[in-house]
Structure 1
């Protein structure tokens, strides 16, 4: 396998269709991205399996929205996305697994800013990624979206 250039970073951005994940993508582009970086988007909606079976058309529409947001950002600041990976299943586990497969240097995710009690009962994708990733994780929290 060819070695990466010193300035090239492989970034994996987790998206679920929420404003929080869109903010994370935009924050990454504005503050972290450098020309030559490789960017992978993992679209892993946090939707229970029973709902997935019933509402595949809703998910398809959400995926279309995500694709439009990514394309707008690509054009606006010349962000070149290597691949958009759409996977159903546990978002946290999926993001960590794909980051390992793509040899990511950093994972970027948004957060809804749930309180401690709610996070304990519902779980948190960003918490899972932080505790299971073997690479740095950048959690972007928008000051106005919590």
Structure 2
């Protein structure tokens, strides 16, 4: 197999759901540890909307670096990074972005240009036509690199 045919870098997108956990296990198993192997783990924290001033609308509020949500997210990413490093892939980095998951994942993919994005796919709910794999579907449709959606 030519070195160009080997997977050397993966961007794992996670929201810590059971589907994302399956994608994580899958990604960790397909990236063979070697000197050039790179494993990136991204999670995206959505803005919190809170009423501000009058009660007619909500305003986007960015979370403080010391908020419980951010602290927990950092701990969870660190745990995954440590697990990947213990598996022999020493070049592993956790990335936390804030905002829209699709645009954030695509922005990081365009910057890093991994061989592949790996992500889970949530099972469709009653709004199947509207929500069916909305994040994974839109990432896959717009990604500059291959996308593996783990079910």
When the two structures are superposed, what TM-score results if normalisation uses the length of structure 2? Answer: 0.74
| 1:3-42 alignment runs, 5 A limit | 6=4, 7=6, 9-30=8-29, 32-36=30-34, 37-42=37-42
| 1:1-146 alignment runs, 5 A limit | 6=4, 7=6, 9-30=8-29, 32-36=30-34, 37-45=37-45, 47-50=46-49, 53=62, 56-75=67-86, 77-115=87-125, 117-118=127-128, 120-121=130-131, 124-141=134-151
**Residues 119/38 of structure 1: CA separation in 2 closer, same or farther (3 Å cut):** farther
| Pairwise CA distance, 1:121 | 4.9
Map Cα deviations across residues 11-40 of structure 1 (whole Å, 9 max, x no partner). Answer: 11111222222221111112x211232111
Q: Which runs of 5+ in 2 are unaligned?
A: 51-60
**Residues 26/121 of structure 1: CA separation in 2 closer, same or farther (3 Å cut):** closer
CA distance in 1, matches of 2:72, 2:117: 25
- Larger proportion of helix: 1
CA contact (8 A) 2:81 2:93 kept: no
- Larger proportion of strand: 2
Which of the pair has the greater relative contact order for Cα pairs under 8 Å at 6+ separation?
1
CA distance in 1, matches of 2:145, 2:69: 33
Corresponding pairs, count: 134
**Residues 127/60 of structure 1: CA separation in 2 closer, same or farther (3 Å cut):** same
| Pairwise CA distance, 1:132 | 0.9
Tell me which structure has the larger Cα radius of gyration: 2
**Residues 28/119 of structure 1: CA separation in 2 closer, same or farther (3 Å cut):** farther
Q: Which runs of 5+ in 1 are unaligned?
A: 142-146
